[in-house]
Amino acid sequence: MTVLKKLSVTNHNKSFKYSILIGDDFIDILEKNFSKTLKGKKIYVMYDEFFYKLKLIKTLIDNFKKLSTKFSSEIFFFKTKSKDKFKNFENLSNLLNYILSHKINRDSVIISVGGGVTGDLVGFASSIVLRGVKCIHIPTTLLSQVDSSVGGKTGINTKHGKNLVGAFNRPEGVLIDINFLKTLPERELFAGFAEVIKYSFIYDKKFFKYLENNTESIRKLKSPYIENTIFRSCQIKAKIVSIDEKEQGIRAILNFGHTFAHAFENLINYDDKKLIHGEAVAIGMVCAFKLSVYLNLCSKKEAERCIGLISKFNLPTKLKDIKNIKLVSKKLLDKFYLDKKVKNGKITFILSNGIGSALIKNDIKEKTLKIFLDELINE
């Protein structure tokens, strides 16, 4: 097996560098590209419950055990919960206690195998245990492959909001195995496309047209369309991260739609039966486009074209698509103020000024916002 696509993530002064490798056999990629990192080390594989549900756990463990034998490494396995509501202090503590009880040391390597929740939890744990040990991400969902595994952000949720406790922690590498996508439930797969589409909205009109013209082939995971889509998504995020690793400026545009999305998720207490993250982002992006039109930043025609693309990927686009949620503008505003982008008491929104371009807006008056939200809720 060969790596189908490869790109590097670095920063402007080249002080760090790691690879994102896209292929179709993650064990083979690990063996051929990370032998020096893994040889003779203690390896902690943190995998999510996804593997039990799909009865893939035996294959996963057997493959890692064979790899550890080749590398004369000691290997440990720990199952994590994959739902967003479990990305919390309790499960962080469980994970840390496990690896500490199995005598992790600073030469050890932690490997996350799972979706965004597992990657965020494990990435954060690796950043704080022994003040930092090496971590490799093997994302198994489309959303985690194109978004959460790229850029070094880690974190957990609290009752006050999403991802409010965390750290920037660069991995040793990210291994994307496209075969995992074929095992995903349809709802989970389509939710991942929300982040893919987002990159075209905020940064690349050409990519937007590619998604628009090849929607059906991409949705059906046809080659080379799905590989090209994942690669371009990672490439865009890597480029933005390289300019602004710690989100002091342009990186904030990656949060397009997320101020709304995080508020919705918080209001339903992260209940994925009602809404999963990609769906929340899809509806959040629609809200961001509508606010952009309301503020005369983006034309209604372009906004409707973008909302149309979201629909083509079978993603929700209306507030009423969120099950059993009671929306009141005052409550939404309160949740906006919990967002980690709030500075000097001002809510920050990422808005659109046309397809392929985004801007950071933090001067919208609360009165204006409330009027907009009242209209939005009553549509």
Q: Which of 177-181, 296-300, 364-368 has the highest mean pLDDT?
A: 296-300
d(CA 329, CA 274): 20
Q: CB of 196 within 8 A of CB of 190? A: no
The pLDDT value given to residue 299: 96
In this prediction, residues 108-126 reach a mean pLDDT of: 95
pLDDT tens per residue across span 70-112:
999 999 999 998 888 899 999 999 999 999 999 999 999 999 9
The pLDDT value given to residue 8: 82
Q: For residue 267, what are the CA distances in angstroms to 38, 159, 161, 261, 368? A: 42, 10, 10, 10, 22
For 361, the 3-state DSSP assignment is strand
- CB atoms inside a 10 Å sphere around CB 88: 17
Q: Which of 3-12, 73-82, 85-94, 283-292 has the highest mean pLDDT?
A: 283-292
The pLDDT value given to residue 139: 94
Q: Measuring CA to CA, which residue among 76, 79, 78, 51 is closest to residue 64? A: 76
Q: For residue 92, what are the CA distances in angstroms to 126, 166, 214? A: 10, 11, 40
Mean pLDDT score across all residues of the chain: 91
Q: Measuring CA to CA, which residue among 102, 147, 96, 148 is closest to residue 126? A: 96
In this prediction, residues 294-307 reach a mean pLDDT of: 96
pLDDT tens per residue across span 156-196:
988 888 888 998 888 999 999 999 999 888 999 999 999 99
pLDDT tens per residue across span 211-256:
999 999 999 999 899 999 999 999 999 888 887 666 677 888 999 9
Look at 24-33, 49-58, 370-379 and tell me which has the smallest mean pLDDT: 49-58
Structure tokens at 185: 């439930």
Q: Is the pTM of this model over 0.75?
A: yes
Q: What are phi and psi of 25, to 5 degrees?
A: -160, 95
The pLDDT value given to residue 287: 97
In this prediction, residues 100-128 reach a mean pLDDT of: 95
**Domains with residue ranges and CATH for the chain:** 5-182 (3.40.50.1970), 186-377 (1.20.1090.10)
- CB atoms inside a 10 Å sphere around CB 69: 10
Which of the 8 DSSP states describes residue 339?
Answer: S
Q: Measuring CA to CA, which residue among 29, 36, 40, 234 is closest to residue 113? A: 29
DSSP lists the bridge partners of residue 156 as 165
Residue 1: pLDDT band (50, 70, 90) is very low
| Catalytic positions, written as ranges | 131, 153, 195, 237, 247, 251, 255, 258, 262, 277
Percent share of the chain, pLDDT over 70 = 96
